[in-house]
Structure 1
């Protein structure tokens, strides 16, 4: 008997035992949400100017009239229309010269790593480099710890990632220099990818086929909870070291998972460790109040491995075009998702409220997926969300450049609509692309797609920080326009991909070539049900990487 058949016919696809375990695994997504976007607060750049020479108690805030006069005398006006004073120059002997000391506005942040290390002026792009290095760690962790989980098991990799995340995140708070900070943040990204991805895969492997896509979307709600909670923590603390410590402490709870979370029985079966798998299966049965017949576990087997390789997707023109479109969609959706989160500081209004809203709007985004994924199809939902979200981001340029401050809430609203669309597209592309890839290369294709997403994450900090190289309102508007423009392009290119709802999914490379053609003898239209939330068997997602990281 196949393990999926055992879940459907005997154990239950999502019984009390699986629900408890799944909930525990979802909690790791909250921690992942913390660390994936915490750089907004660690590397935030407060407003600043050069420190006045000879003023030991100089502050960014005006202390008195004499202080104001001295600032006006020694600090030249800024060429950036959004700033009053030059940030990198002061006047000495009637000559404008570069300075090497700065004072920072403390109204938003009491301190950040950027302000402590003076990563401004000629060093201002170092903050973008640091964010890119973090996402590089996520990329390395996905491949390294993903491979390790296939070798030593999900549970051990989950536990190793928990320890590594706890140690590295706590160490970040005491980073003495920029490069030490970058190395530690790389390790944080590495371990964060391992924690979330392994928990995601383990969660998929213990639920039945008809529940996997549902479970894959629901875990994203917990990621959004992490963003919302992080906004509250950062607002209350406002000092980067203590924010980092506060979001690191919950990782201690994950160390208890060694006793609370079982190894994946599906993985154990794939490794030929049937006795260990049988023990865990009986634990699941007991937790679900199910009595297993003695012969139920005879000849039990897991998924059979496939022989396809990712380069098989490039052997045919149809597969090549579809694969490149999918890769581009994954890159853009990740770039836009993380870019919009990192771009919070460029929006007008309250910084913390904007960040809170950027997390809060993800709840309706994922609800859209749950409600409409099986009603309107993958293509219509993905294209409408991606293009609609992209257009909303593009439209912000009009309010940012031509509207006064009283209309800036419109800018925030448009940016949040863009976040809803892009977050929803992120969830849909995972399901849709997995269904387009033929079975023999599905895992390889999804792994390559996930790598493209992480490359998009590495690019996103540089786009979000365009305002550091382009002055004025234009510099603040460009990131949203770039994210929006790429989103519209990716969404329109998706029109070339076939719809997969109610179609038999391709198994072989030849099936993949024929898939989506009208009146095709292999795939007659609407003859099958592969609804994400129906009771029929779904595609296996147990060995693919999660969409979020």
Structure 2
């Protein structure tokens, strides 16, 4: 069961009761369908860099005369695995032609197609890095405007920008490809959070964990499918086309999805909200209460409005002031500060942890295709386990336990010998699985903590940190391993353990109504603290009565 009770049509106290009465139906399932399809295709954009711009060994394929006439010093490695020049005794000559060693990545990869080696090798990694960074920036900008001007409007803009990615396989130059990846990444940042928020705001508390599983489960299969496609299709243009063209099936959502009724109510757009709710009731075969009762529910939902609701009426010329004002609201009150700081750190830590383990598979396996498939397989628990765990033990306890376990599983890695690669892979993938569960539950928890009129921006800022750390994740081993072989594993472990400690400062959101304004969030947390304090006092009084023989 997705909820415990049915709500009488004449006994509705707030917006949650109204949503509970309408129940799940075709209107919700349409959003689930589009969100799940996008989740299935997600790994194809984030992880494809492992296959289309891998690090390939090169050597000079220069004319015999140039090689025979060269005299080499003792310290020159003539037969080095990554050669960019012919090192002579008195002069160093750049390679005329590079010879690529494709023992794993046979056929055409992007490095060879655009001669991305030596001084231009960084452009290959930029293909992934620039997408990650643009995704984070797009998420922040989307969060700013999405809370003010509507979820659907920003979804349409983001989807239109992302469609530019569809032409990349046919572009002739690396510069044009990177420009399109930047625009597409920005659009993806707008689409991702908006679609998720649209769905979560259409549900009540007990429905969200189960629907979250349904939406994120396809990500697991997307990872495994990408590994299989990478093994079968070695031409980067064909591979990229295969993982990008299916996004065209999301384009109809630009017309088929409605604006979030919860957001419309919060912003005082009662007519628009009533129109959408009438459509939902018609699709679900339900009857809405009389219009005057619905408007009373709307007023109860909106009666604690904060100043941030009125910011949508500001003119375009005041966007600069509006920009800083919106970010200030994220840290204006004590609980908003706590939620913002903890979510920013935990998202940043898990971005480094999750993508670090996913993209650095070469350190745990000699077969990157197999590792990618297994990465998808171990992500299966992170989509199936969070819902029952969050419902049974609560969001807070589940997050703390899984964050701690993922960190502890990585601590033994520095002590595992190189001959026991199976043990290294088992520990790393087990930690990744626990981290995925923790991230899913924590994401649900902070989604339920942020108020409706700050929710998209509140999630966009932490997601920007994810994009930043995901960009760095691929280089962590290259940066830290020369200093200490065990350093990357210890860094991933510490990130997760500190994240577990940080969750201790947040309230549990199990079976609680999502706040619509900052004032409601502060009130909800104040009531929660009062109940906890009252419970402690009551327990102390009971113990004193036991000692005095009164019980």
**Residues 289-345 of structure 1, C-alpha deviation per residue, up to 9 Å, x if partnerless?**
324466487526385344477646757888766753443112101222222222223
Q: Does 1:403 align with 2:412?
A: no
8 Å Cα contact 1:214-1:370 kept in structure 2 = yes
Q: Does 1:415 align with 2:428?
A: yes
Cα separation, 1, equivalents of 2:479 and 2:64: 30
Cα separation, 1, equivalents of 2:537 and 2:215: 34
Mapping for residues 320-331 of structure 1, pairs under 5 Å: 323-331=340-348
Query: TM-score normalised to the size of structure 1?
Result: 0.76
- Deviation for aligned residue 1:268: 4.5
SS at match of 1:49: strand
Cα separation, 2, equivalents of 1:445 and 1:20: 22
Mapping for residues 270-309 of structure 1, pairs under 5 Å: 276-292=272-288, 295=291, 299=295, 301=298, 303-304=301-302, 305-307=305-307
- Deviation for aligned residue 1:364: 0.6
Q: Does 1:455 align with 2:465?
A: yes
2:250 is matched with which residue? Answer: 254
Mapping for residues 227-238 of structure 1, pairs under 5 Å: 227-238=223-234
**Residues 405-425 of structure 1, C-alpha deviation per residue, up to 9 Å, x if partnerless?**
xx2122222221121122112
Mapping for residues 125-164 of structure 1, pairs under 5 Å: 125-150=122-147, 153-164=150-161
2:199 is matched with which residue? Answer: 203
Q: Bigger radius of gyration, 1 or 2?
A: 2
Q: Does 1:341 align with 2:358?
A: yes
- Deviation for aligned residue 1:21: 3.7
Cα separation, 1, equivalents of 2:330 and 2:141: 23
8 Å Cα contact 1:217-1:366 kept in structure 2 = yes
Equivalent position to 2:237, from 234, 241, 251:
241
Q: Does 1:484 align with 2:487?
A: no
Query: TM-score normalised to the size of structure 2?
Result: 0.76
2:322 is matched with which residue? Answer: none
1:8 is matched with which residue? Answer: 20
Cα separation, 2, equivalents of 1:524 and 1:90: 79
Distance 1:297 1:107, change over 3 A: farther
Q: Which runs of 5+ in 1 are unaligned?
A: 57-73, 79-84, 527-549
Distance 1:99 1:391, change over 3 A: farther
- Deviation for aligned residue 1:276: 5.0
SS at match of 1:206: coil
1:38 is matched with which residue? Answer: 48
- Deviation for aligned residue 1:158: 2.9
**Residues 234-271 of structure 1, C-alpha deviation per residue, up to 9 Å, x if partnerless?**
22212221111112211221222245433434445556
- Deviation for aligned residue 1:144: 2.8
Equivalent position to 2:441, from 428, 450, 464:
428
8 Å Cα contact 1:374-1:501 kept in structure 2 = yes
Distance 1:494 1:156, change over 3 A: closer
Cα separation, 1, equivalents of 2:507 and 2:96: 57
Cα separation, 2, equivalents of 1:23 and 1:313: 32
- Deviation for aligned residue 1:18: 2.1
Equivalent position to 1:364, from 381, 384, 399:
381
Distance 1:236 1:501, change over 3 A: same
Mapping for residues 88-103 of structure 1, pairs under 5 Å: 88=84, 90-92=86-88, 99=95, 101-103=97-99
8 Å Cα contact 1:335-1:453 kept in structure 2 = no
Q: Which has the higher helix share?
A: 2
Distance 1:390 1:464, change over 3 A: farther
Cα separation, 1, equivalents of 2:270 and 2:241: 42
**Residues 63-98 of structure 1, C-alpha deviation per residue, up to 9 Å, x if partnerless?**
xxxxxxxxxxx96355xxxxxx34445454698766
SS at match of 2:410: helix
Distance 1:323 1:285, change over 3 A: closer
Equivalent position to 2:369, from 352, 372, 380:
352
2:474 is matched with which residue? Answer: 464
SS at match of 2:99: strand
Q: Does 1:381 align with 2:394?
A: no
